[in-house]
Structure 1
């Protein structure tokens, strides 16, 4: 069931509250690839009508996090190793461009926003709020896309963001990831587009090399026990 705060927030459509809850469950590994998502059952669980659930599932399809399976309905998407490689190919090219543009277009207010997200990630990590730290890291990348201020680039990146945030949660060593984001922030803040582009390519390339081929059998990093 959705919380009272989620259902009573008049400024936030109910479909978005349902979508965000389902997305979080996917990101955190509660719904593994192949899990069926039945509209009727979800409506009963959340104590809402089927319409906001239907809309939430539609939005998650657009993000690529769920897929239609005919008579089986919707299920959490399954990505092949080639799908993962293709995602990294496209994301790396687009993200490098976003960082290059951000380095030349970021205002002082934009940089404050990026730094604030990094500080938030550190605070969350310090108190063991891993999910919130991951969320701040995801918002950091999304903020760079907004700062780049290119509508065509934004339109190309937005459908990939959900899947990339999902993938990164399987490989991320959070302290290291936050430090890499600080390095990326410094590159953007320098105003040097070549430096920002190189830092972005290095950042995504590193995690691409570490990514497990069998990630769909691997728990998200937040569930793994430290050795």
Structure 2
């Protein structure tokens, strides 16, 4: 395997490694507190330690791993109740704005892409691939941020994406979540920014309440 790219695509190897480690965190393979050792990961992925180090750096920026002096390295992060509340607060402020802007700026191509992600989520669910459905749901939210076309908003959301995706995984009813996303998609497609903002706000509040009911 090349040190710069994977065999299957043109992405840098560090991104492929990051995505694999991130998926393992989301799936619960790496529980909070798990120590991630560069040397062991390099052996497992059959690469040098450089792409591993870069992948862990990106995951650290997302808040999914952190450096703990007493743990002798990188560990999978956990979120305290206060941190969860903070993430929901910031998500509410920024994602509502993202949906408002996306509704005003989305092109037909943008809307087709969003709809396609929802179809991918449905297909993953039908085929029993929960991870594929969850990934499509995550990409749906990320795509809205891109469609909003605001560099400052994207920069503000980027460091939070890992923690937000982690929260998305706690939705207890995946089919219901996909339907909620279709409702949000339809609101964005109306071209009415205020309506899209309202539906986004209601969507976030619903899952904030659901999270606290199950934790």
Contact 2:171-2:177 at 8 Å conserved across structures: no
Alignment match, 2:165: 165
Q: What secondary structure does 1:78 align onto?
A: coil
SS across alignment from 2:75: strand
Equivalent runs, 1:184-203 vs 2, <5 Å:
184-203=184-203
1:67-216 to structure 2, matched below 5 A, reads 67-70=66-69, 72-212=72-212
Instruction: Report how far residue 60 of structure 1 moved.
Output: 0.4
Asked if 1:44 corresponds to 2:43, the answer is yes
In the alignment, is residue 23 of structure 1 matched against residue 28 of structure 2? no
The whole-number CA distance in structure 2 between the counterparts of 1:194 and 1:150 is 17
Q: CA deviation at 1:212?
A: 4.1
Taking only aligned residues, the RMSD between alpha carbons, in angstroms, comes to 1.5
Question: 1:13: Cα distance to partner?
Answer: 1.2
Shift of 1:214: 7.9
Distance 2:110 2:54 in 1: 32
Q: Report the CA distance shift for 1:213/1:185 in structure 2 as closer, same or farther (over 3 A).
A: closer
Contact 1:81-1:213 within 8 A present in 2 as well? no
Q: Which runs of 5+ in 2 are unaligned?
A: none
> How many Å apart are 1:45 and its aligned residue?
1.1
Using CA pairs below 8 Å that are at least 6 residues apart, which structure has the higher relative contact order?
Answer: 1
TM-score, normalising length: structure 2: 0.94
Query: TM-score by structure 1 length?
Result: 0.89
